[in-house]
Amino acid sequence: MVTNLMDKTKVKKEKRNKKRTIIDLMGYKKITSDNHHYLCLKDGTYCNLLKVPGIGLDSYPNSEYMDITDGFTSFLRQYVYDITFITTQFPASTQEQQIYWNQKLFKAQSDLQKTRDQKERTKLQIKIRYIKESLSVTRNVEQQLENQEYIVLIFAKNPRELNMKCQDIKQYGGKYIQFQDMDLKRKQQLLFKINNMNAPLNG
């Protein structure tokens, strides 16, 4: 009787102290339909994914380098909840650049249709050719280049607790360690990659 009770207590303690990892994201049940887009895991708990932008330590002087590393150590001491950091390769996004060049192209083509001055038309035709080349470059970059991204996984028993933990981690991150929300599309891309390791990921 005593032995059975101790065994049950041990099992409960092991479950409570279970280290959460990226494996818990495999076969997740669903993504919540609210603005948070939290993950509902198979065991009924919840998880959120936050992006951690790279810092580029090599570009900082030694004095500031120490500030950054000390800040990260301080963060790990203050933030007591269980978190997991992962790195992944994502296709580089050039959507903003493509929007910019498409707007330039639309304006140049409109101006070309309106003007009858031959010199002005020649200048606009050269400009349009340059814009199209720039567009082609940005599209090729998106197709061929990948960026390394850092992601933190935060786990909780319910959405309310998860929301509190996400607010805390952003507060404790400090000046250099910034935790940013990921939109639904980016989360879906990451989850697809985790659950289909050998499949290519398109941006």
| pLDDT tens digits, 59-95 | 666 777 777 788 888 888 888 888 888 887 766 667 7
**Closest CA relative to residue 35, chosen from 191, 190, 163:** 163
**In the predicted model, is pLDDT for residue 172 greater than 70?**
yes
CB half-sphere exposure, 82, CA atoms < 13 A? 13
Query: Is residue 10 situated within a structural domain?
Result: no
Query: Is residue 164 situated within a structural domain?
Result: yes
**Closest CA relative to residue 34, chosen from 181, 171, 190, 201:** 181
Place 198 in a pLDDT band, splitting at 50, 70 and 90: low
pLDDT at site 56: 63
**In the predicted model, is pLDDT for residue 15 greater than 50?**
no
Based on the fold, state whether residues 75 and 99 are members of the same structural domain: no
Based on the fold, state whether residues 162 and 175 are members of the same structural domain: yes
The CATH number for 175's domain is 3.30.70
Cα 53 from Cα 179, distance rounded (Å): 7
- The domain containing residue 76 runs over which residues? 19-91+147-195
Average confidence score pLDDT of the chain: 79
Query: Is residue 27 situated within a structural domain?
Result: yes
Query: Is residue 8 situated within a structural domain?
Result: no
Based on the fold, state whether residues 84 and 104 are members of the same structural domain: no
Query: Is residue 167 situated within a structural domain?
Result: yes
| pLDDT tens digits, 17-54 | 555 656 666 668 899 999 999 999 988 999 999 998 77
**In the predicted model, is pLDDT for residue 199 greater than 60?**
no
Query: Is residue 6 situated within a structural domain?
Result: no
How is residue 60 written in tokens? 């900082």
Q: Is 8 helix (H, G, I), strand (E, B) or coil?
A: helix
Q: Based on the number of CB atoms within 10 Å of its own CB, is 154 exposed (0-12), middle (13-18) or buried (19 or more)?
A: buried
Task: Find the mean pLDDT for residues 156-160.
Answer: 94
Contact 142, 203 (CB under 8 A): yes
Based on the fold, state whether residues 43 and 86 are members of the same structural domain: yes
pLDDT at site 69: 80
Cα 101 from Cα 113, distance rounded (Å): 18
Based on the fold, state whether residues 130 and 80 are members of the same structural domain: no
Q: How many domains does the chain have?
A: 2
More confident residue, 141 or 101: 101
| pLDDT tens digits, 93-114 | 677 888 899 999 999 999 999 9
Output the CA angle 135-139-145, nearest 5 degrees.
135
Contact 93, 142 (CB under 8 A): yes
Cα 129 from Cα 122, distance rounded (Å): 11
Based on the fold, state whether residues 134 and 103 are members of the same structural domain: yes
pTM, 2 dp: 0.60
Based on the fold, state whether residues 118 and 24 are members of the same structural domain: no
How is residue 6 written in tokens? 């101790």
Contact 49, 60 (CB under 8 A): no
Based on the fold, state whether residues 65 and 78 are members of the same structural domain: yes
**In the predicted model, is pLDDT for residue 125 greater than 60?**
yes
Query: Is residue 11 situated within a structural domain?
Result: no
Based on the fold, state whether residues 85 and 154 are members of the same structural domain: yes
**In the predicted model, is pLDDT for residue 9 greater than 60?**
no
Of 144, 167, 182, the residue at which a domain comes to its end is: 144
Query: Is residue 5 situated within a structural domain?
Result: no
Based on the fold, state whether residues 83 and 112 are members of the same structural domain: no
Based on the fold, state whether residues 107 and 129 are members of the same structural domain: yes
Based on the fold, state whether residues 27 and 87 are members of the same structural domain: yes
